[in-house]
Amino acid sequence: MSRIGKKPVVVPAGVEVTVDANNVVTVKGPKGQLSEKISKLIKVEVADGQVLLSRASDDREERSQHGLARTLINNMVVGVTSGFEKKLQLVGVGYKAEKKGDTLVMSLGYSHPVELKDPEGITTECPSATEITVKGIDKAVVGNYAANIRAWRRPEPYKGKGIKYADEYIRRKEGKAGAK
C-alpha cells in the first residue's frame, strides 16, 4: 500500500467534496472551487468528513497513481481553505517590480520594462520594490506563474543577480580573479 495514498484526506468544515461518475473530484470552499480528473484506476470515496482512496491491485501504474491522486485532492482542499503563495526576491542594482492594475511591471536590466498580466485566479503583490508575492488557490498554477516570472532573469552564480525564490540558496562561484 502507498504510504501517502493510504492516508485519508480530512475535509474541514465549510468544504464540500464531490466525485462524479467520470472520477472528477470537485472541491468547493470559502476561497473558490477546484476540480481534477483522477485516474480510473483509483477509487475515490467521500465518507465521514474524509476522502478515502483505494486501488484494485498492486500494478505499477496503479501504485504510481495512488499517492498522486491523494496529493492532488489534498492540495485542492488546502487551496480552497487557505490558498498557496510563492515569494520572489529581485536582487541587483536597478531591478524593481511594481503593480499596475492586474499587470506586474518589472525593470530587469533590459531596454524595456517586462509586463506580465496576472492569469485568472492568480494575484500578485509587491510589498516592496524588490519583493513579489504570487497567491492563488491552485498550487500548480501558482508555482508555474512564479517560475515564469523567475525565468525572465534567473539568478547568476557570480554576483547572485536575478529573480530568486525567497527561500532559495544561490551557490556562488569565484570569479576569474579567484583562480590564482
Q: Is residue 61 in some structural domain?
A: yes
**Rounded Cα gap, residues 29 and 52, in angstroms:** 19
pLDDT computed for residue 2 by the predictor:
72
Q: Is residue 178 in some structural domain?
A: no
Average pLDDT over residues 40-69: 90
CATH code (residue 70): 3.90.930.12
Residue 178 has pLDDT above 70, yes or no: no
User: Do 17 and 62 share a structural domain?
Assistant: yes
Average predicted confidence (pLDDT) for the chain: 92
User: Do 88 and 73 share a structural domain?
Assistant: no
| Residues 6+ away with beta carbon under 8 Å from 133 | 85, 86, 87, 88, 124, 125, 126, 127
Average pLDDT over residues 1-30: 90
pLDDT for 86-100, tens place per residue? 999 999 999 999 999
What DSSP line would sit under the chain, residue for residue? --TTTTSPEE--TT-EEEE-TT-EEEEEETTEEEEEEPPTTEEEEEETTEEEEEESS--HHHHHHHHHHHHHHHHHHHHHHT-EEEEEEEESTT-EEEEETTEEEEE-SSSS-EEEEPPTTEEEE-SSTTEEEEEES-HHHHHHHHHHHHHTSPPPTTT--EEEETT--PPP---GGGG-
Residue 56 has pLDDT above 90, yes or no: no
Average pLDDT over residues 138-158: 96
User: Do 90 and 75 share a structural domain?
Assistant: no
User: Do 111 and 153 share a structural domain?
Assistant: yes
Range of the domain at 89: 84-165
Q: How confident is residue 69, by pLDDT bands cut at 50, 70 and 90?
A: very high
Average pLDDT over residues 139-161: 95
pTM here is 0.90
pLDDT computed for residue 177 by the predictor:
78
